[in-house]
Amino acid sequence: MKVLLHVCCGPCTIYPLSVLRERGMDVTGHFFNPNIHPFKEFKERLSTLEDYARQTKLPLVVDPHYGLTEFVREVAFHEADRCHICYHMRLEKTVAVATSMAFDAFSTTLLYSRYQRHADLISLCEDLSTKYRIPFYYEDFRTGWQHGIDVSKELGMYRQPYCGCVYSEQERYDKSLRKK
Ligand code: SF4
């Protein structure tokens, strides 16, 4: 089965990729993440992923465009619902690419993170699967959370300290928000 795996970054790719390959799947990564800001952070995450993809012979489809403008326009005035909008932006693109390139299914490394809204992701992927008529491969990759962290540290990978957008960066470093 040829699977297009939406990849958010290198460290989060480690465990889902190992699981999918163990299941005998032919995996290609799709990097489309207009949520990652600022520009230097975007470049750092992408280059970390590309290094890891070279090491593991993971084919990648990369959208190198820095999507600050598009992302901000989508979430403006909907900040409280921004994660759902963010998931939708990224995953609909992956599904469209998977369909146009004749993949058998799609999935996402976002299902690996303990910090993402897992149920929301499943529901969204199921809706996209129906809309685009392509199977969604689901697995709870969170079970390998620590394994992914351990391997990324062993490999000396860059590990980002916040989710991606400027809002999450503020939540990570603004002590007054963290207290709440
Ligand atoms: S916190 Fe993460 S998932 Fe939510 S909008 Fe920001 S980058 Fe996207």
Structure tokens at 176: 């007054």
Ramachandran class of 79: left when φ > 0, alpha when ψ lies in -120 to 50, beta otherwise: alpha
Query: Is residue 131 within 8 Å of residue 91, measured between CB atoms?
Result: no
Residue 11: cis peptide before it, omega within 30 degrees of 0? no
103 Cβ inside 6 Å of ligand 1: no
Query: CA-CA distance, 31 to 9, in Å (whole number)?
Result: 8
Pairing of strands 105-108, 60-62: unpaired
Q: Whose CA is nearest to atom 4 of ligand 1?
A: 83
Residue-range domains of the chain with CATH: 2-179 (3.40.50.620)
113 Cβ inside 6 Å of ligand 1: no
Give the chain's mean pLDDT: 96
Structure tokens at 27: 């995996």
Q: What is the pLDDT of residues 52-90, one digit of tens each?
A: 999 999 999 999 999 999 999 999 999 999 999 999 999
165 Cβ inside 6 Å of ligand 1: yes
Statement: residue 121 has pLDDT above 80: yes
What pLDDT does 175 receive?
77
Q: Once rounded to an integer, what is the mean pLDDT over residues 4-30?
A: 98
What pLDDT does 179 receive?
58
Is 59 strand, coil or helix? coil
For the chain, what's the residue count? Answer: 180
117 Cβ inside 6 Å of ligand 1: no
